[in-house]
A and B are shown apart, each in its own frame.
Chain A
């Protein structure tokens, strides 16, 4: 089954404790992306990646890191989480060619609470 898998689904942590949220897709998509969703603000893109070893900042990259060492994986790293990073996070992937070009497929989301 074609899917984007995020782990964990729920995470409670404390300020300053480094964490990684994993994202994996099995559709051979070139484009991958991370978003955070906060009430009243819609989804805001954190980082995106056009392909392996290519990453770019979205609208809210501060406090986050990403890497794209393999095409299928795009982990989101919070080196020193703070309470303002409490949010619902989504990973998404999309092809950059073909009939489904730019159509994004979303993971189920990771709800993060930073205390």
Chain B
């Protein structure tokens, strides 16, 4: 069962621009997480947002969560070539449940 769905599937921007990726999910959640993956390597955690939170920031990253629309967005500001990677959202219904990943957004930042 696919819980998270990212949009767009692929995104290409110029260095310095902002990148926005969206994630939609189908059932209630306890938390939603964003991860980055560089070309076939292990995933790296970016931000976790819990169901009672609406927005979180970490450096150039901003994540919002709208539980009424069952959606989240990840904003990367002032993008850099090093931000080129795939980005995945993942949800958990409870803190002790399985984790469901979306298919990911492939971001290319052109120098």
Contact = CB atoms under 8 A, between A and B. Distances in A.
B101 A43 contact: yes
Interface string B28-63: 001101010000111111001000000000000000
Nearest to B1: A59
Contact of A45 (B31, B88, B99): B99
A107 interface: yes
Nearest to A44: B101
Contact of A108 (B4, B35, B41, B88): B41
Given A42-B103, A44-B101, A106 B31 contact: no
A41 interface: yes
Contacts of B96: 31, 50, 96
B92 A102 contact: yes
A17 interface: no
Chain B interface residue count: which class?
20 to 34
A40 B1 contact: no
Contacts of B104: 42
A101 B92 CA distance: 12
B43 A33 contact: no
A109 B101 contact: no
Contacts of B100: 45, 59
Interface of A: 31, 33, 35, 40-45, 48, 50, 56-59, 88, 90, 92, 96, 101-109, 111
Interface of B: 1, 4, 30-31, 33, 35, 40-45, 48, 88, 90, 92, 95-96, 98-104
26 contacts: A31-B96, A40-B103, A42-B4, A42-B101, A43-B43, A43-B90, A43-B101, A45-B100, A45-B101, A48-B98, A57-B98, A58-B99, A59-B98, A59-B100, A88-B40, A96-B96, A101-B95, A102-B31, A102-B95, A104-B33, A104-B90, A106-B42, A108-B42, A109-B40, A109-B42, A111-B40
